[in-house]
Structure 1
Amino acid sequence: MTSTHDIVVDQVQESRVGTTNFDNLIFGKTFTDHMLECTWRDGKWETAHIKPYGPIMVEPSSKVFHYGQAIFEGMKAFKDAQGNVHLFRPEDNWIRFNESAKRLAMPTVPEEIFMDGLKKLVDLDREWVRQGDGVSLYLRPFMIASENGVAAAPSTEYKFMIVMSPARAYYRGDVRVIIASQFSRAADGGVGYAKAAGNYAASFYPNNLALEEGYQQIIWTDAATHEYLEEAGTMNIFVRIGDKLLTSPHNDRILNGVTRRSVIQLAKDHNIDVEERRVSVKEMNEAAANGELKEIFGTGTAAVIVPVLGYKHEDFVHDLPAVDDSYATLFKQKLSDIHYNRVNDEHEWLVKI
């Protein structure tokens, strides 16, 4: 057992990397040799530990199970052709993680625990980061309320952890969506902008209904009127009408996605007219009817860029046309080139491990 920068490291004696089938991965089911754990107790963070991946001990009365104080982030590490490992915009995830923590009355995580712990953990398990387009190491920092007791109040103890999973492409089949006209993902003044675990749990039932109709995801609309687009499943949503790219503005209902912000910047870099504004379902349906709706695509860390092939809104069903100058294809390629360090990183988004 060793200690580096106040991070205690307990390394496995033998890695499982050599017995892992990287060609047959199910997203989020295989994990690397190590994980990070750090406890907040008595008003302060204790020493962070990197230890072999495995079960953790919590009591059945832990408040996470009863009051849902749980947040997480999704990040990735990539390996370039030279064998170097990079993180993509990790500081943005750390900042957003702490914004989520504040909203759920949880303690913020200092940079030296989140960032230094993340870098040390990725470096220790760097052999789990494989080369190749679409191949990455998915990183899952999360925090849960671990105090025992069922009184309805914020926990006085928390566990911050990071686990890591080798990953390939998230979506491999066609994606068609239903536009929500009944269920909502988030409401004004709520926790939609936070990566709160409950946001995702609440989406499972309506998404199951969509699957029963043959659709893979839902485009969420505003809770008040169901007239405006907000997010696409677990992703941010972009709509291309003519040559203009539109995306819903960040607010307290919509997650401020790192991939979303990256796509907006890439659009500006390529002189594509991009607007952050409310997009109504009516506007999109009218554009579809008159042939002006060119593309819909989702953006997110796990999936990166996911083109939507068609959608249903109440009785209106529309298939998207194939376009030669696809923005989704352009941005996916540009992001891939940055992820794998094949082009100049002019925005300094990569952090080398």
Structure 2
Amino acid sequence: MSLQLTIHKTKKKKEKPDYNNLSFGKHFTDHMFIMDYSAEKGWYDPRITTYEPLTLDPSSLVFHYGQAVFEGLKAYHSEKGVLLFRPDKNFRRLNISNERMNIPEVDVDFMVDSLKQLLHIDRDWIPSTEGQSLYIRPFIIATEPGLSVKPSGEYKLMIILSPVGAYYSNADQMSPVKIYVEDEFVRSVKGGVGFTKTAGNYAASLKAQTKANELGFDQVLWLDAMEKKYIEEVGSMNIFFKINGKIITPALNGSILDGITRDSVIELLRYWNFDVEERRITMEEVYQSQQNGSLEEVFGTGTAAVISPVGTLQWQNEEFTVNNNETGKLSLKLYETIAGIQTGKKEDPLGWTIPLDS
């Protein structure tokens, strides 16, 4: 059945927030996208409507058994108009999460087109100041009422939009962060759901993140669940190491998220003829490379901050610095290049951006 998008614009627009003091995910635009699913109809009734609260049955399965997946991407103002950064990759990854969480897949092309129409309607919410963007959150929840442990027969897919400032303040955007290597809790195991963007992954990470924050660290670096020695990812980022001129990042193994920025960094580095290895790497190897002086840079990659240089790591009660706690040249070059492509200030040799008005 062909899907036909309907549009119901709000009659009363919201007052916009102070764009000089934007927090992450605190303000939302006038409209949202919604589409429903039932076993009988499949995905149906896609619509753009007023942003408003939902009414759900208290027994909706999402509340009890956690069938929920999401994505995160951004729209940027540029001299070339509004740009999206690889949105098709996000909806393809949403389908990977869907498959693992037993949620019906969505039509990628239809979702990209629907997102563009939503952005057209709320385009006056897209910030134009450097470092700001419109954060886009597609997500799916299980809505069938009942308490039987089973896949839901009903779902709701939504896209909401939020104007956001830089992930860090301008002064701190590329300041190195402090990372705590978690050796008690584990995030995921091969065969589990670590490679998906499902809500439970993030709930499971909160205890360790709280502990790290209380100790004065910004993020948690997770190790593998079986041996607790192989590096996996940071709470909100994939992780890269520059050792003796070679760039190393943990290989996707079934418990690591296939980050869109991670993929972009790898493509860009290879385009620049860097030697990039996707393989297993231990904390012992990283520690020894720091001790012998061959560890040049460590940085995280993700949608929120793009590139986050790492200046400090704590592992097994020992804290050690990376690159004198300074932002590395490669980290800075990657940030400036990807952020420049996203905002249209730099050429896009790999064809990543999609103009909203195309």
RMSD between aligned residues:
1.6
Separation in 1, partners of 2:265, 2:109:
29
Aligned pair partner of 2:71 in 58, 70, 73: 73
**2:92–2:108 CA contact under 8 A, matched in 1:** no
Q: Counterpart amino acid of 2:127?
A: R
Separation in 1, partners of 2:237, 2:123:
27
Q: CA deviation at 1:136?
A: 0.8
Q: CA deviation at 1:319?
A: 1.4
Find out whether 1:329 has 2:332 as its counterpart. Answer: yes
Q: Residue in 2 aligned with 1:192?
A: 194
4+ long deviations beyond 6 Å: none
Deviates more, 1:254-263 or 1:284-293: 284-293
Aligned pair partner of 2:209 in 204, 207, 210: 207
Pairs aligned (count): 348
Q: Residue in 1 aligned with 2:104?
A: 107
Q: CA deviation at 1:303?
A: 1.7
Separation in 1, partners of 2:243, 2:99:
37
Find out whether 1:133 has 2:130 as its counterpart. Answer: yes
Aligned pair partner of 2:94 in 93, 97, 104: 97
Aligned pair partner of 2:17 in 20, 23, 27: 20
Find out whether 1:171 has 2:174 as its counterpart. Answer: no
Separation in 1, partners of 2:235, 2:155:
29
Alignment of 1:197-276 (within 5 A): 197-276=199-278
**1:171–1:306 CA contact under 8 A, matched in 2:** no
Q: Residue in 2 aligned with 1:6?
A: 4
Unmatched 5+ stretches in structure 2: none
Q: Deviations over 1:71-124 (max 9, x none)?
A: 000111111024x11110011111110010010011111235421211111111
Separation in 2, partners of 1:205, 1:324:
29
SS class of match (1:48): strand
Q: Counterpart amino acid of 1:205?
A: K
Q: Kindly tell me: are residues 325 and 211 of structure 1, through their superposed partners in 2, closer, same or farther at Cα, counting changes over 3 Å?
A: closer
Q: Deviations over 1:217-239 (max 9, x none)?
A: 11101101111111011110011
Q: Kindly tell me: are residues 324 and 126 of structure 1, through their superposed partners in 2, closer, same or farther at Cα, counting changes over 3 Å?
A: closer
Q: Kindly tell me: are residues 161 and 203 of structure 1, through their superposed partners in 2, closer, same or farther at Cα, counting changes over 3 Å?
A: same
Q: CA deviation at 1:344?
A: 2.4
Separation in 2, partners of 1:112, 1:50:
17
**1:176–1:308 CA contact under 8 A, matched in 2:** yes
**1:222–1:229 CA contact under 8 A, matched in 2:** yes
Q: Kindly tell me: are residues 86 and 309 of structure 1, through their superposed partners in 2, closer, same or farther at Cα, counting changes over 3 Å?
A: same
Separation in 1, partners of 2:200, 2:339:
31
SS class of match (1:200): helix
Deviates more, 1:192-201 or 1:37-46: 37-46
Q: CA deviation at 1:245?
A: 1.0
SS class of match (1:312): strand
Separation in 2, partners of 1:330, 1:143:
36
Q: Kindly tell me: are residues 55 and 346 of structure 1, through their superposed partners in 2, closer, same or farther at Cα, counting changes over 3 Å?
A: same
Q: Kindly tell me: are residues 47 and 283 of structure 1, through their superposed partners in 2, closer, same or farther at Cα, counting changes over 3 Å?
A: same
**1:238–1:246 CA contact under 8 A, matched in 2:** yes
Separation in 1, partners of 2:297, 2:351:
29
**2:297–2:328 CA contact under 8 A, matched in 1:** no
Separation in 1, partners of 2:113, 2:150:
31
Separation in 1, partners of 2:292, 2:45:
61
